[in-house]
Structure 1
């Protein structure tokens, strides 16, 4: 049965409503199965991954549900591909469990697709797609942002130790819970086991964070690639992002030199590992 909520069309999208929250899709879809989890209080419908996400409340418990299988507004692939992608991502979250990673509770087939169910977080996102929360995040003092950056580095050192490489990490993957003063990483769906080769040319991700090899078909994507990504994160947190001039940098010249080394276009000039990068960074604080 199709969702009984009235639907109206804008261009190629249709607007639906669940528990008073509007969201857009390419075509109607029945989300009545969400009632088993509770009442929807938030919808994230503007993803290009093929997933649509819901914040759901059941009494005092709140959940974040990532669902694949619906005709989401910005996804160009088939629903079967989105479902397969989310199922594959579930293993990544299981393998990379960490205190700074959003916590996966379980995944299940439901509603004609796949749902990955996470603990809800009150984290504010650094991503440019959320200007209000980004503005709040960017007003954090430098000392707090340094702690956030250490947390990000620690998680990605854990990723490397588990034999994975980070793919599609960017500022939209960074959350900060102001009440708990805690950093969380989300959206690691595309992180992959090493060895990993770029088979597509321009890979997924934000060009503000991507290394040269992530644009070059046949290139090795490895921990040295992730050194570049972490250097890009440093410039996003403390500098001018793609403008890597010292005039945009908020911290010391010594730390600037560490970050600049990490984002060298020449791989052999970067730090040899994330541990080496972190050791160099910490020695300059």
Structure 2
């Protein structure tokens, strides 16, 4: 498409994409059932998330992906925030459904984009601290709106160096509370998932998202799944806050994101390993 190759399980007519602009990027390797396009119409760059085509890695039916993408529109509307990618509109088109977002030139932290991740991870810890505070602030907003984060991981984190701005994307599965794990192992990266996200019948709530923030801190400032202090680059005080957040026992974690924020210090903690 516009000289950009892409993969599908079977042929599909994407001629309707021309109506949005010239394609300069295709994301065809998701397991969500969506295929995504970066398009430029001369006045504006947009990110088109489309469901309805037979994508390579999706194990469900295209019509199921369509219903899931339609359901996600309300999530983006309800959780609109300065650090969330901006939904412009959504519409039925091309025999499927498209959600159209404002384009961002942000670098992604996700491991599936190694070059972008390398650029992201080379940021100084002081900048990553700002990114982490933006992520935490957004998820406090998520709680205030009555939702719970599901399937948030490093692939959801973007940083636009030109604007010095954190952006969060791919929140399609965030859900209204109360939420019960009805499936056993839930969606997401195990690096960011709490024990209750593997346990059918478990409550998925704010304490679950406390674990998520702790795991995110270790992804940004430590050794991800290696949560030893040897891999931790910030102060011992902040290490203890993050380690408490990822306790296997829910009762031993901070019991709210505001409690986590208070213990973390929201930027008052030192970056030094040796000083407090």
- TM-score where L is the length of structure 1: 0.93
Aligned pair partner of 2:45 in 62, 65, 81: 62
The 5 Å alignment of 1:46-61 reads 46-61=29-44
Q: CA offset at residue 60 of structure 1?
A: 3.0
Matched, 1:230 2:229: no
The 5 Å alignment of 1:1-285 reads 18-282=1-265, 284-285=269-270
Secondary structure in 2 matching 1:59 = coil
CA–CA separation in structure 2 for the residues paired with 1:266 and 1:241: 19
How many residue pairs get matched? 268
Secondary structure in 2 matching 1:64 = strand
- TM-score where L is the length of structure 2: 0.96
Long gaps (5+) in structure 2: 271-276
Q: CA offset at residue 279 of structure 1?
A: 1.2
Runs of 4+ in 1 over 2 A off after TM superposition: none
Long gaps (5+) in structure 1: 1-17
CA–CA separation in structure 2 for the residues paired with 1:199 and 1:61: 41
CA–CA separation in structure 1 for the residues paired with 2:190 and 2:140: 22
CA–CA separation in structure 1 for the residues paired with 2:61 and 2:226: 37
* Superposed CA RMSD: 0.6
